[in-house]
Chains A and B, each alone.
Chain A
Amino acid sequence: DQQVKQNSPSLSVQEGRISILNCDYTNSMFDYFLWYKKYPAEGPTFLISISSIKDKNEDGRFTVFLNKSAKHLSLHIVPSQPGDSAVYFCAASRGDSSYKLIFGSGTRLLVRP
């Protein structure tokens, strides 16, 4: 029973356009959410996070939106660049200091030049 779901295994967008990656969760106790980016043969790296007290968090080209009532979050990348091509994982936890992080299955993003 996956508590964090990324239903799109892959996404392809044109360079300069917006990339939207989606994530759904089932556990209403989750209150802290993160996005990680992973290149081949490397470990994941932290990208951006959001607490459940917010509905939006921005960091440069990356924005995460949280819809608590729908138990849905999304990562927007604008404008998309070829270097953004990677696998993106969303993750959730109960509390920003929780030791247990639950990951989604990942979405592979390809940004075409």
Chain B
Amino acid sequence: NAGVTQTPKFQVLKTGQSMTLQCAQDMNHEYMSWYRQDPGMGLRLIHYSVGAGITDQGEVPNGYNVSRSTTEDFPLRLLSAAPSQTSVYFCASRTGMETQYFGPGTRLLVL
């Protein structure tokens, strides 16, 4: 049981490049979400999904796309990276509030 896994751990992009941050969980959780953590800002919700085929926007969705084709996977896509998207990204899955498990994070640097 690996919990929530995220790849890559670290990525450097140039402005305008695209990439996908991968997230997978093996706990059969219906709810998954993506957060970004910036200095002095805490964690902010980007997008979330309440089940396969269902996604919705969080606080800061602009510049990001998501899809949920399976229960296990919830990738986050940056179509055209910008320096403002330099951050640490956390994926999470849960059944209830107290059982929300976070992945180890992906550190993204956009030059």
Q: Which of A4, A34, A96, A99 contacts B42 (CB 8 A)?
A: A4
Q: Cβ of B58: which chain A residues have Cβ within 8 Å of it?
A: 100
- Docked-complex contact B41 and A105, CB < 8 angstroms: yes
Chain B: number of interface residues, binned into ranges: 20 to 34
Residues of B whose CB lies within 8 Å of any CB of A are: 4, 31, 33, 35, 40-45, 48, 50, 56, 58-59, 90, 92, 96-105
Tell me the complex Cα distance, A9–B41, Å: 11
- Docked-complex contact A104 and B98, CB < 8 angstroms: no
**Interface mask (A88-109 → B, CB under 8 Å = 1, otherwise 0):** 0101010011111111111000
Tell me the complex Cα distance, A49–B97, Å: 9
Q: How many A-B residue pairs have CB under 8 A?
A: 62
Interface of B is mostly: strand
Residues of A whose CB lies within 8 Å of any CB of B are: 2, 4, 6, 9, 32, 34, 41-46, 49, 89, 91, 93, 96-106
Tell me the complex Cα distance, A9–B101, Å: 24
B47 to A: closest C-beta gap in Å: 11
Q: Which of A9, A44, A93, A97 contacts B43 (CB 8 A)?
A: A44
Nearest A residue to B38 via CB reads A105
Q: Which of B42, B48, B105 contacts A104 (CB 8 A)?
A: B42
- Docked-complex contact B102 and A45, CB < 8 angstroms: yes
B4 to A: closest C-beta gap in Å: 7
- Docked-complex contact B102 and A43, CB < 8 angstroms: yes
